[in-house]
Structure 1
Amino acid sequence: MFLLLAGVIGGVIGTAGGIASLVAFPALLAAGLAPVQANVANTVALISGAVAASAASRQELRAHRRGLPGWAALAAAGGTAGAVLLLVTPADVFAWIVPVLVAFAAVLILVRPVAGSSPHGGRPARPGDRTWPVAVFAVGVYSGYFGAGAGILTLAAVLHLVDADLVRANAVKNALTACAGVLPAVVFVLAADVAWWTVVPLAAGTTIGGAIGPAVTRRLDPRVLRAAAALMGFALAAWLALRAAR
C-alpha cells in the first residue's frame, strides 16, 4: 500500500511537470532496496506512468505529430545506450555531476520567459537542426543510466528548443520519457535483478497517477506549474548531492 500510494503521488507529480522519482526513488530506498536495485526498479515501474500520461496527452501532442516519431526513436536509442552503460560501469561515476545537471535544468525552467499571448504561454518553435536531436539522445542516455531527474532535464530541453508552451512541452516530455524508458526497462528485466515485489505496486500507482496528471496540468496556472517543477528539481538536486557526499 505504501508503494502504491507513492506511485500515485509520483505519477501525478511527474506527469504534471514535476519529477516522479522525487517520490518513487526514496520510497524504494525506504522499502529496503539498495541504490542500484532501487534505480532499476524505479526505471521499470515508472514506464507505465509515462505511457499512461502520453495516452492522456494526445490533444497536446497533435501540435508535434510530425516530429514526434523521430524524436521518440532518438530517445529510445539514448535510453538503451544508458541502460547498457549502467550495467557495465560503476553506478557512482556520475554521482557528483547528476545533482548539477538537475539543478541546472531547474534553473532553465524557472528563468524561461513566457512568450506569446496563448493562455498557457508560447507557440511551437521549430527545433534546431542539430541541437535538439543531440539533446534528445543525451537526455535519453541519462534517463537509461540514472533515471532520477530525467523528466526535469527533458522538460527544460523541450521548453528551450521546441515549444515554449508549458502544457504542450510537458506532454512532449511525457512522451519522450516513456520512449526513453521502454527499452531500458526491457534490458533491466532481462539482465538485472528486478525486485518485482516493489515494481508491481509502484507501477500500478504510477499508471493511475499518470492518467490523472495531464488533466491536472491543464487546470494549473503555468506560472505555478513552472515554479513547482523548478522547486522539485532543486529539491531532488539537493537530495542527490547529499547522497553523493555520504
Structure 2
Amino acid sequence: MTPWEAVAVFAAGVGAGGVNTVVGSGTLITFPVLLATGLPPVTATVSNALGLVPGAVSGAFGYRKELRGQRRRILRLSVGALLGGFSGAVLLLALPATAFEKIVPVVVGLALVLVAFQPLITKRLRRRREVRSPSATTDTPGTPGGPVRRDGGPLLFVGLTLASVYGGYFAAAQGIIYMSLMGVLLDETMQRLTAVKNVLVAVVNTVAATFFLFVADFDWTAVALIAVGSAIGGQLGAAVGRRFSPVVLRTLIVTIGTVALVQLLLR
C-alpha cells in the first residue's frame, strides 16, 4: 500500500465511522477504497469488518445518553444480532468467491436504493406515528394506526436477526434496514432508535470480526488504518452528525457506492 493509498484508507475510515454513527452505510465509503488499493473483494470485506469495530463501539458510546432506559430491549435484540452476525460471517467464507462477486453487486445496488429512498421511508414512518391511536402503546404489532409493542415482538426480533445475517456477510446499509424495522415496530424517537442501531451494528461487527480474525485472510495495514479512522469518525459523528445535512450525506454515500458498484461489475 502506497502512502497516498494509506491516507485514502484512513480518510475513508473516518468518513465511514461518522456516517455509520449518524446514517449507516459507511461500508460504501471504505469498501471501494479498499478495492482501489488492489485487495480482492472478500479480503476487503473482512478487513473492513475488522477495521470498523472500533468505529461502531465509538458511535454507540457517543449515543450513550439516548440508550438510557433501553437496556432490556438492547439485550434481547443483541442476541439476534449476535446469532445473525455470526451466521453471515460463516456464509461469507463458506460460499465460493464467485458467489460473493455475484451477490455483493446486487446487495450494494439494493443498499443504494435504500439510502436514496431513506427520506421517503422516514416520511412514511412519521406519517404512521401521526395517525396512530394515542392509546396504542403496548400489546401486539399492528397495521399503521394500530398498537405497537414496546419490544417489537417476535416480528422485530426475527427481522433484525435476518438483517444481521446480511450485516455479517456484507455490512453496507444494515443500519438503514435496522432503522426501518424498528421505526415500524417500536414507538420511539428516531434518536433513541439510532442509539439502538449503533449498538446492534457494534455487536454484528464484533462477532463477525472475531470469527474472521481466526479463519480469514485480511490486510493488517488496512485494518489498522480503518480502525483508527473509524474510532475518530464515530466520535465526530455522535458529536456533530445531527447538524450535517442529510442530503449531503446521502449524496456522498450514493456517489461513492455507485463507484463501488461499477468497480464490482467490471472486475
- TM interval, shorter chain, is 0.7 to 0.9
Please show how residues 59-74 of structure 1 align to structure 2 within 5 Å.
Answer: 59-74=65-80
* Larger Cα-atom Rg: 2
Q: How does 1:1-246 map to 2 (within 5 A)?
A: 1-90=7-96, 91-95=100-104, 97-106=106-115, 109-111=118-120, 112-113=122-123, 114=126, 126-163=150-187, 165-219=189-243, 224-225=245-246, 227=247, 231=251, 234-235=254-255, 238-239=258-259, 241-243=261-263, 245-246=265-266
Q: Superposition RMSD on alpha carbons, in Å? A: 2.7
Call closer, same or farther: CA 1:245–1:198 in 2, change over 3 Å. closer
- Return the letter of the residue paired with 1:37: T
Tell me the equivalent position of 2:142: none
In 2: Cα distance, 1:155 partner to 1:58 partner: 17
SS of the residue 2:88 aligns to = helix
Residue 231 to residue 165, structure 1, CA distance change in 2 (3 Å): farther
Amino acid aligned to 2:23: G
Normalised by the length of structure 2, the TM-score is 0.78
Unaligned runs of 5+ in 2: 1-6, 131-136, 139-147
> Quick one: distance in 2 between partners of 1:240 and 1:32?
13
Gaps of 5+ in 1: 118-122
Whether the 8 Å contact between 1:128 and 1:161 is mirrored in structure 2 is yes
* Partner Cα distance (2:102, 2:8) in 1: 31
Q: Relative to structure 1, is the Cα distance of residues 5 and 107 closer, same or farther in structure 2, using a 3 angstrom cutoff?
A: closer
Which string of whole-angstrom CA distances, capped at 9 and with x for unpartnered residues, describes residues 96-139 of structure 1? 5414532453366322233669xxxxx99634312200111111
**Contact 2:29 2:253 (C-alpha < 8 Å) held by counterparts:** no
Q: Could you tell me how far apart the structure 2 residues matched to 1:157 and 1:231 are?
A: 23
Structure 1 outlier segments of 4+, above 6 Å: none
TM-score, structure 1 normalization: 0.84
